[in-house]
Amino acid sequence: MYFEKTLPLKTSPNYNENLIFKPPTTSSSQRFTRLRCHASSGQDYRSKPAKDIRVLVVGPTGYIGKFVVKELINQGYNVVAFSRENAGIKGKMGKSDIAKEFSGATVRFGDVLDVKSIRNVAFEEHVDVVVSCLASRTGGKKDSWLIDYQATKNVLDVAREKGASHFVLLSAICVQKPLLEFQKAKLKLEADLLQGGGITYSIVRPTAFFKSVAGQIQLVKEGKPYVMFGDGNLASCKPISESDLAAFMAECIANPDKVNKVLPIGGPGRAYSAKDQADLLFRITGQTPNYFPVPVALMDGIIGLLDFLARFFPQQFEDAAEFGRIGKYYAVESMLVWDPVKQVYLEDATPGYGKESLEAFFTRAVKEGLRGQELGDQAVFGVNEQ
């Protein structure tokens, strides 16, 4: 089940709060003409059967990308997966592994940082729709601008050049309050997509993924304390499963109601704070509640120290300080729709979608383990299951 609410004006990515970026300068008549052209181009591919709609997926081997590719294959689309030759966590997947993973799709290999590779390989044939699941693996400053912005912009530029009709962008709900480099990079790409014309868009801003709240499941199973910042109620989220998010992104291809919109999306049910997640795990595992609260001020001190060291040794400590800021951000900022007027996060305004609840995921993960939820470079608690 999915519901969509009209967001306050200031949550629009064109809103100029904090000089994130300026609104488009085109006139009302120009904007109307552009949207009318967008609508007609989008209808062209939607009038065809799914098997005749070629969908290019970039970032297909990532956590969400692989589910998007498989969902599109299952729905009968003509899918092209454009991948690096060595992909997956720490590049462990080779060309044969990737081809096997995406049986039913056309798998092509190239480099999203090379425009010629995108143009000649990914767009070798006409593409109707592009789905971008590209994202920095670490969130480091350089990597964020290289992947979240430049690589995605390369694909967008070629999509416009080659006459693709629609661009589905996997963004993130946290760009509403951009304090981190990867958020700023994503917002700049969103701006380029919104203001450049020539192609319709669906910008998908999911809340937390199941993977991002899975890091302490094994620790709790073993009777260890649940680590949380403050009292565990500083931030909340509505996590969504990878399969449900993939289904939602597929809807952005077929559903005209999702064209030229920014779409925040979470999973079904209520929002959960860190303490709520802990209590849910304690109940499912049968373990006695055992919390390990960490003062946020401790993280502030660590970030301050790393920032100081980064002045003298930027290569060694700049990204480390950014990782600290990322950790703090997720500890204190909710992954929900933000109301900039009231300065509050709104659970009720955060749409819910899908079938799998967080409780169902935790229950399955406790029984079966975390295979398929590998944290890779983003692991925090060191509970990677291979």
209-248 residue pLDDT tens = 998 899 999 999 999 999 999 999 999 999 999 999 999 9
Q: For position 164, which CATH number holds?
A: 3.40.50.720
The answer to whether position 380 is within a domain reads no
Residue percentage of the chain with pLDDT more than 70:
84
Number of domains in the chain: 2
The domain in which residue 250 lies consists of 9-209+240-265
The predicted structure's pLDDT at residue 31: 37
pTM of structure: 0.85
Length of the chain: 386
Report which of 164, 181, 84, 171 is spatially closest to residue 132, judged by C-alpha positions.
171
pLDDT in tens, 273-287: 999 999 999 999 999
Same domain for 148 and 88, yes or no, is yes
The answer to whether position 376 is within a domain reads no
The answer to whether position 301 is within a domain reads yes
Same domain for 252 and 109, yes or no, is yes
- Which of 3-12, 151-160, 208-217 ranks highest by mean pLDDT? 151-160
The predicted structure's pLDDT at residue 89: 65
pLDDT in tens, 298-344: 999 999 999 999 999 999 999 999 999 999 999 999 999 999 999 99
Same domain for 323 and 250, yes or no, is no
CB proximity list for 67: less than 8 A, separation 6 or greater: 242, 243, 245, 246
The answer to whether position 230 is within a domain reads no
The answer to whether position 348 is within a domain reads yes
Same domain for 347 and 304, yes or no, is yes
Q: What's the mean pLDDT when you consider all of the chain?
A: 86
Same domain for 67 and 118, yes or no, is yes
The predicted structure's pLDDT at residue 238: 97
Same domain for 31 and 158, yes or no, is yes
pLDDT in tens, 94-120: 889 999 999 999 999 999 999 999 999
The answer to whether position 234 is within a domain reads no
Q: Cα angle vertex 14, ends 12, 16, to 5°?
A: 105
Same domain for 118 and 190, yes or no, is yes
Beta bridge pairs of residue 226: 291
Residue percentage of the chain with pLDDT more than 90:
77
Same domain for 196 and 311, yes or no, is no
Same domain for 157 and 198, yes or no, is yes
Same domain for 313 and 169, yes or no, is no
Report which of 157, 156, 152, 175 is spatially closest to residue 12, judged by C-alpha positions.
175
The answer to whether position 235 is within a domain reads no
| Mean pLDDT value across residues 349-373 | 91
- The total of other beta-carbon atoms located within 10 Å of residue 6's CB is 7
Same domain for 244 and 332, yes or no, is no
Same domain for 250 and 302, yes or no, is no
The answer to whether position 298 is within a domain reads yes
Report which of 160, 157, 139 is spatially closest to residue 148, judged by C-alpha positions.
139
